[in-house]
Chains A and B, each alone.
Chain A
Amino acid sequence: MTKKFSLRPAGFALLPALMLITVMAGDASASLDRFPRPEFHGGYQIPDNNFGSARAAFLYYMDVFALFAALCAACWVVFKKRSRKGVLALMLASIAYFGFYKSGCICSIGAIQNVSAGIFTGYAIPITVFLIFILPLIFALFFGRVFCSAVCPMGAVQDLVAVKPKKIPVRIDAPLRIIPHIYLGAAILFAATGAGFPVCKLDPFAGIFRLSAPTPLLAWGVAVLVTGIFVARPYCRYMCPYGVILGWASLISKHRVRISPGTCINCRLCENVCPVDAINQPEAEPSGEERKHSVKRLKIYFALIPVWIAAFAVCGWFLADAAAELHPNVKLLRIVELEESGAVMTKSLESEALRIDADIMAELRRAAGAARTGFRWGLTLLGIYLGIVIGGYLIRQSMYRKQDGYGTDPVSCVECGRCYGYCPQHKADKEKPKWVRDDKSC
C-alpha cells in the first residue's frame, strides 16, 4: 500500500519554516531584492544593502553571567553592606546594561511567556533564556526579591523617579494588588495558546530603553513614570507578573531584609519611609472581643472560598469566547465567517489566500477551535486560581500574626534599602545615621 503524503499538517508550519530558512540563509538570500530596483536618471547610485551581523552566541552567555553577577552584588549590598548607596549604584549599572544596552530584552519578566510557550506548545527556548527566567527565582528562594532591588532595570527606573512617594490608602492598594495575578495568568494563557506575548507588547519601558517606540507605547511608559513620582514603583506593585512568582519564592526565603540589624526598639522612625508600604508594624495581641470577631470573619471567609472559586471559574468560562477573539487564528476565522455571512463586504488578503486551499481552511478551523478550547480551560483555571488567591488573601487578613518589632513583608518588600538609614540601630558598629550626624544644619 502506498502511503500518501499530506500537506495538511504542514499548512501552518510552512510560513514559519520559510521564515526560518530565510533567516538561516543569511546574507546570500537577503541580498536579493524582492522587487526590481527603480532606475533613476541623473546618475543617482542606489547604495548596496547593508545587514548587521547576528549577535555572537557568547554574548548571550555573558548576559546570563551579568545577571548572576548583578544578583550576587545585590545580595552583597542589601544584606552584607546594608547600603542604599550601593543599591543606587547597582541600579544605575543595571539600567545601563540590562536596560539600554540590552534594550530591555530578553528580561526575566518577559521570559515567563517563553517558558510557558515552551512547556505548552513546544516553543523552543534557548538555555540562556531559561537561565534568565530561573536565576532570580533561585536567588529569591534564599534572599527574597533581591532581583527587584537593583537588578531589574524596570524596577530601577521606577525607583529613581520615586521622588515624592505617597502612601496609598489600603482600600485602594489591596484591590490593585489583584491585578498582577490576573496579568500573570493572562501572560501564561496567551503564551500557552500561541496568542502572543502580551507582557512584551505592553512593556511600558521598552520604548524608553530602545529610544524608539510607537507613540501610545511611549505615552504609556511616560504615564507610568509620572505616576511613579508619587506612587513608588507602580508597575512592580500593581502589574508585574514576575513579582507574583518572586513573592511566592520570597515567602520561604531564609534571608530577609531587616530594618534594624539588632533588636527593634519600636521607635517608629521607619514607619513611614517605605515607598512600597512593605513594613509590618508590631501589634499587640488582639483582645477577646477582637479575637471573637476575627474568628467569626475567618469562618465566613473559609465558607466563601468555594463560592469565590466557583464565581471566578464561571466568569473565566464565559469570558473565553470574547477573550479568544484576541487569538490570531480565531481573529482570522472570524473575518472569514463574517465575510461568508455577508456581514462584511470587503475581502481581506488573508481570507482570499485561505480560500485558495480548502485544506488550509480546514486547518484554520481546527486551529481556531483548539485556541478557543485552550482559552476556555485556561480562563477557567485562571478563575479558580484567582478565587484561591482572593480567598487566601481574605483569610490571611483575618489571622493574627505575632510580631514584636517593625519588620518587612517578604512578599511586598523590594529590598530597595531606603529604610536602613532611618533605623537608629543601623550600622551600630560604624556610625550614627546621617540625618542625626548633620542635625546642626537642619
Chain B
Amino acid sequence: MRLDRKNIVPLINGLQWSTAIAALITGILLAATYVQLHIHEPLVNGSLPDFALLTDKSSSGQNLRDEIRALDMLARKAYFTSVHQIRTGTIIFFAAAAIFLILWNIRTTLFPAPPMPPGEKISWWRRQAQSAKAVAITSGAIVFIVTAFAVNHKYQLASTLLNKRDTVVDSNKFTQWWMNFRGPDGTGIAAFANAPIKFDGGTMAGIRWKTETPLEGFSSPVVYDNKIFLTGATKDIRQVFCFDVNNGKLLWKQDVKVTGQPAPKVDKETGYAAPTAACDGKNIYAIFATGELAAFTLKGKPVWAIFMGTPDNHYGHSSSLITANGLLYVQLDEYDKGKLSAIDTKSGTTVWTAPRKILSWASPILINTKNGRELILVDNEYVTSYDPATGKQLWNEDCLYGEAGPSAAFGNGMVFTANEHAVAAGIDVINTGEDGKPVKRWQWRGDLPNTASPVAVDSLLFLAAATGIVTCINTNDGTTLWTHLFDRGFYSSPVVSGKNVFLFDRNGLMHVFAAAAEFELIASSPAGEPVAATPAVLDGYMIVRGEKYLYRIDGI
C-alpha cells in the first residue's frame, strides 16, 4: 500500500493528540502528587510526632502502642503510595512524550512541510559584522565580570580570615538583622549607625506604625528578612507571632503546646514569655517559662517541638535563646538540676548538654577570642565560658552575687559582668595569664543593674540601674567616667548604634546619649507606654515592644 498523505497524516495526528493529552494529564497529576507529598510529608507531619512527644507514662499502655503502630502504618502507606504513583506517573509521562515525539518525527520525515518562501537576504558582511561585534562585547563583559568576581572573592576571604575576631562566616548576611536578644552575638551593638534619635509616641511623629500585641510578654522582638518575631504567653496559652516589618500586620501566629504539665508559678514581672526568641535565617525558635521549646519555619510551619522540663525557678524562666552554626543554645538555670543544652536546629535533638549548678535569669552571648568562639553565661556566682561546639567548660570566674538578671557584655577583648548587690567586673580574655586563663583586671562597686544588661563599646562600659542611674566606666582600669540620674529606672537593656547609646526607661521614655567619656544627652522621646523589652535596631529604624503595642520607629 502506498504511503498516502491523505490516509496517514490524520491517523498520525490523532495519535499525536492522544499522546499529548495523556502526557498533559499525567504531568498535571504527577505535579499535584509531588506537591502534595512535599507539603504533607506523611512520615514527618501528622499525628505521629505528637504521640512520640507524649511523656505521660500513664497513657503508654497497649492501646496507645497499637494506635501508634496503626498511625505509623497509615503514614507509611500514604508515603509509599505517593512514591509509587510518582514513579509510575513519570514512566507514563515520558513514554507518552516519547511516542508523541517519535510520531511527530515520523510525520515530518515522511511528509516534510514545504519550505517557507525565503525572506529578505541579509548581507553576509552585515551578519559577520553583527556577530563580531556581539562576540567582542561579550568577551569584554566576561573579562570585567570575572575580574570583579575574583577581586571580590579575594577581599571577602581576606576579611574573613584577617578580621577573625570580629567576623563570623556568613555573618554579613545576618548581622544586618536583629536575630536574637540584644542583636548580633547578644552584645547589644547594632550593625547600623543610623538608629532614629527622636520620635513622639503621643502624636505618632516618627512612628511608622503601631500594632497591638496579641498576648502579653516581656520578650524582645527579633527581626529577620523583613519579619518581626515575638512571643507572648499567659498561664494557659503560649504563642509565637510574626509581623510584617513594613506595615505591622500580623502575618501568622502559632500555638506552642508540647506538654500537658501544669504551668509553673511565675513572678508577674517575669511572666511566661520573658525569653526572647532566636532566628537562624531558616527557622524561629521560642522557649517559654513552661520549658516548652518550639521551632517554626519563617512562614510559621512547625518544624519540631520539645519539652525541656518545667524550670524550677522562683521568678520564672527568662533566659533568651541564641543560635550559631546549626546549634541552638538553651540556658536553663535552675536550683539544682540546671543545664546548658545545644540543640540541633534541624531536628530538635540534643547535641550536647553541660551541667549548670547555680540559678540565674541571664542570657548567653557569643564572643570571639584568639582561641575561637566562646559561649559566655553568667549565673548568681560565676561567669563561665563554654566551647560552643562541644559544651566543654573553658574557664570560669567568681565575680557575681545575688540574683543575676543582666547578661554579660563583651568589648575591647574583655568580658564584663554586673549585677545589683554584687560588683561589676572586667575580665581580659585576650591577654590571658601565664596559665592561659582569662584574668580579672578590675572590679567596680556602685549602682548596678538588676535586669538591664551592660553594653560595651571601645573602652567604655555602660550600666543602667533600676534606680535610674546610668554609669559609664573606663574599661581599661575600671574607673568611673561619669554617672547620670534619670527620672525612672531601667529594665530594658541599652543598645549602641554608631556613636550613641539608646536606652528605654520603665515609663517608655527613650534616652539617647553619646557613647563617650563625657555625658551628653542628645534626645529623650516618649513611646507613650511602659517599655521593658530591648529594642531591635536595624537600618534606619527600630522595633520596640511596649506593654501593649509593638512599634516601628523611623524617627523624625
Contact = CB atoms under 8 A, between A and B. Distances in A.
A85 B109 contact: yes
Contact of A339 (B113, B124, B372): B372
A308 interface: yes
A339 B371 CA distance: 10
B373 A319 contact: no
B357 interface: no
A1 B136 CA distance: 65
Interface in A418-435: 421-422, 433-435
Interface string B91-105: 100100000011011
Contacts of A268: 118, 121
Interface residues of B, number: 65
Contact of A92 (B102, B118, B125): B102
B33 interface: no
Contact of A397 (B105, B131, B389): B131
A175 B139 CA distance: 8
B146 interface: yes
Interface in A150-172: 160-161, 163, 170-172
Nearest to B156: A322
Contact of B371 (A322, A342, A438, A441): A342
Contacts of A283: 124-125
A398 B126 CA distance: 10
A433 B110 CA distance: 10
B139 A308 contact: yes
User: Nearest 10 A-B pairs (CB), nearest first?
Assistant: A342-B372, A174-B131, A175-B138, A318-B150, A322-B153, A341-B164, A268-B118, A283-B124, A397-B132, A345-B373
Interface of A: 84-85, 88, 92, 160-161, 163, 170-175, 178, 208, 211, 268-273, 281, 283, 286, 290, 294, 297, 301, 308, 311-312, 314-315, 318-319, 321-322, 337-347, 390, 393-394, 397-398, 421-422, 433-435, 438-439, 441-442
Contact of A435 (B111, B130, B169): B111
A318 B146 contact: yes
B135 A434 contact: no
A345 B101 CA distance: 54
Contacts, number: 163
B169 A343 contact: yes
B151 interface: yes
Contact of A321 (B6, B118, B125, B154): B154
Chain B CB count within 10 A is highest, among A88, A271, A314, A346, for: A346
B450 interface: no
A319 B112 contact: no
Contacts of A272: 115-116, 118-119
B169 to A, nearest CB: 5
A422 B125 CA distance: 26
Interface string B235-272: 00000000000000000000000000000000000000
Interface in B51-94: 90-91, 94
Given A160-B101, A170-B130, A175-B137, 12 more contacts: A160-B105, A170-B127, A272-B116, A272-B118, A286-B125, A312-B139, A319-B149, A343-B161, A346-B388, A398-B128, A422-B115, A435-B112
B165 interface: yes
